[in-house]
Structure 1
Amino acid sequence: MAFHGAMTEGLSMFALRRIAFAATVAALIVGGVPLSANAQTSSPSCSDVHIPVALADGAAKTYTMYGRLCHPSTGPSRTIQILVHGITYDHNYWDLPGFGEMYDYSGAQNAAGYTTLAVDRIGSAGQSSIPPSALLNLDSDAVSIHDVVQAARAGSIPGGPYEKVLMVGHSYGSAIAWQEDTAYNDVDGIISSGLGHLLGNLQGLGTSLEPALLDPRLAPRVGLDAGYLTTLPGTRGSLFYNAPDTDPAVVAYDESTKGLVSATELGTIPQFEVASLGVTGPMFMVMGQDDGFFCLQGGKLGLDDCATDQTLYNSEAPFFPGADMQTYVLPNAGHDINGELNASDWYAQAAAWATSHVPPQG
C-alpha cells in the first residue's frame, strides 16, 4: 500500500493510481470485504439522527447534534466511522450534493462495509444546535463528540451498539479527534486529514473572516451572535483548494453553502499542538500535497514536507509518540481533499487502511 511513499518516488501519476487501486482491492479482500460489483453499485441506507450532547463534562445534555447515518446495503457494520468536518463546513463535506458519487467519502466507506455517521458539529450552521458562540472551544467540541462516541457504543444510534469506533476528521475536525482521544481514550482508531503541526497560513485564514451576521444567508439563523464568523465572499477557492485539481463548480457550491466558526474556537486552535501527544492507537494521517496551511508545497509558509508519504511521516511522527501512525499524501490536492478531482484516490487509501486496522465487522 502507498502509505509511506518512499517506494513510489519517481513513478508517474498514472502508475501511482494503478498501484493504489490494486493495493486497495487486495487489502479489502484480505480484510474480508471483497469488492463485488454488487457492493459497489448497491446504495447505502441512510437516515437522519439527532443525538443529545453536552459542552462540558458532567453537564446536562441540553444540545442536539445532527448526523447523517448511512449503513452499507448489507446492513449495519460493527464498526462505525464518525465523520467530523472542519470550520465553516457541515456534514455535507463528506458527500457533496449534486456531484453524483464523485466527492462521496461516506459512500466509499459504505461500499467497503462501514456504517458512517457524518455529523454537523455544534454551532456549525448545519442542523445542530447553535449555542452562544463563547461556549465553543476545542474542549467543548471534544466533549460533544465524546457524547456521540458513547451513544454509538451504548446502542443509542440506530444499528448499534457498535463494538468499535473509528473517528475521521478533517482540519479542525481532526483537532477534535486528537483532543477527544487524548481526553477520553475511547476510540479504536483515527483517520486525520488536513491537519499538521507546522501551521503557516493561519493569518491568511484570519484575514479572510467576517462576522456571520453580515452574511445575508447566515444572519437569520436563530441563536447567531457577533462571535460567530464566516469566510469573506470569494475567498474559499484560494484558502481551501488547489485550482488545477479543482472543479470550479465545487468552489461555487462551497461558497454558496459556507457555515460558521466561533471566535473562541479559533482562539483554542493552538491547543491541538499539545493534544497530539496523547493520541494512542492506530492513526492514518492524510494531507493534500499542496495544502496551503501546512505544506511547504502549498507555498504559504507551511512547513510540513508533503512531497511524499514518507516525508510527511518524517515531519509529523515526532508529534505522535504514542500513536501507531501511517501517512498518505494526495498528489496535487489542496486543503479540502474531499473536493479535489482525485478525491477518490484517498477514499480508497482510507478504506484500505481502515479494513486492515479497524475492520468493519470488529
Structure 2
Amino acid sequence: MKTEIFGMPLHRLQTALAELGLKKFRAKQIFDWLYQKCVFDFAQMSNLGKAERQLLQDCFSVLPAEIQIVRKMDSSDGLTRKALLELPDGNAIETVLMHHDYGYSVCVSSQVGCDMHCAFCASGLNGAVRNLTVAEILAQLYVFQAQLHLQNERVSRVVVMGSGEPMLNFDAVFGALQFLHQPDVGNIGYRNMTVSTCGIIPGIKKMQGLGLPVNLAISLHAVRNELRSELMPVNKGYPFPDVIAAAEEYAASSGRQVTYEYILLADKNDSDRDAELLAEYLRYKQAGVNLIPVNPVPEKGFFRPAEKRIERFLSILQRHRLHATVRREMGKDINAACGQLRAAFAKDNESKKQ
C-alpha cells in the first residue's frame, strides 16, 4: 500500500526518502514541486532521476492527483467557483474559491457531511460520514491553487467554513492550517485564516491554547435560548451565553476580534427584538456581526427576509454601535451555500440506484 505524501512534514519526508535510499535534499525539491509549482505527478518532476521518480511513484501517492472534480460551477459574475470533489474512497466534499478585491480565498470543508443538524443548513442533510485528513483539507485548497498557478496568482486566505464542524476534527484542521502557514508551502499568515464553529467550547479553549492569531467565527444565528436550540441543537450542550464568554476569552488572549455569524430567516429570527437582544449580548465585546440573508434550502423551508427588514435589522445593530455588515453574496446562483452541491449530488446518486 502506498504512503500518502501530501501534507507530510518535511522532516518526515526526509526520513522516508532516506529509508528508500534517496538523498534527504530530494525532500525539498519534492516540496517545491508539490506546493510551489503545483505538480502532483512524480513523472513531471524533472530534476529527479528517472529511477528516483519511478521509486517515488511505486511508494507514494499524491492526493490531489487522485481527486476527481465531479462538478464545477462558476458564478455568473466570475468571482466564485465551486467544486464538488470525489475522494478516492468515493465520498464527496465541496470547496469554494472566491475572488475578492484583496485576492483569492478558499473555503474548505472539515468533514464529509455534518452532524450538527442545524435546521437551515444543507450540510447535515445526510449526517456526518467521517472526518477529513490533513491531506484532504490541504488538497481542497490545492485543487484551486493549481489552477491559479497558471495565472501567476495564489490563494492568500483560507476559511474553514465549509461542511462539517471544525472543532470536532481539531487536530486535522489545525494541522492543515499550520502546514499551510509554512513559507515553503502556502505561506499564508495566521491572520488570514478563519475557523468557524457552531460553539464547541472545548475546541475554542483548545484553539486558545495554541496561541495562534487565527480568526474565530461563531455561528450564532439566534439569541433566544429556545429558538437557538430549535435552529441549532448544539445549543443544548453549549448554551450560547457560555459560547460568547469562551469566544470573548479567545479574543482577549489572541487580540483578534471575533466574528458572529447570524443567518437571517424571514419571520424567525429577524425581528426588531432579536436585533436588540443581539446588540445587548454583544455590547462591549470584541465582536463584529456578519449578517447572512439565508440562501434558501428547499428541503428546510426557510426564506430570505425582505430587503427593508434586512436593512432595519442592520440599522438597529449599528445604532447600538455594534460593528455589523451584511455579507456580500457570492455564488448564490451556483448553490455556494454549505452542502447544497453535495446534497444535490447525493440525491442524484440515490435516484440512479433506484
TM over 0.5: no
Larger Rg: 2
The structure whose RCO (Cα within 8 Å, separation 6+) is larger is 1
TM-score by length of 2: 0.36
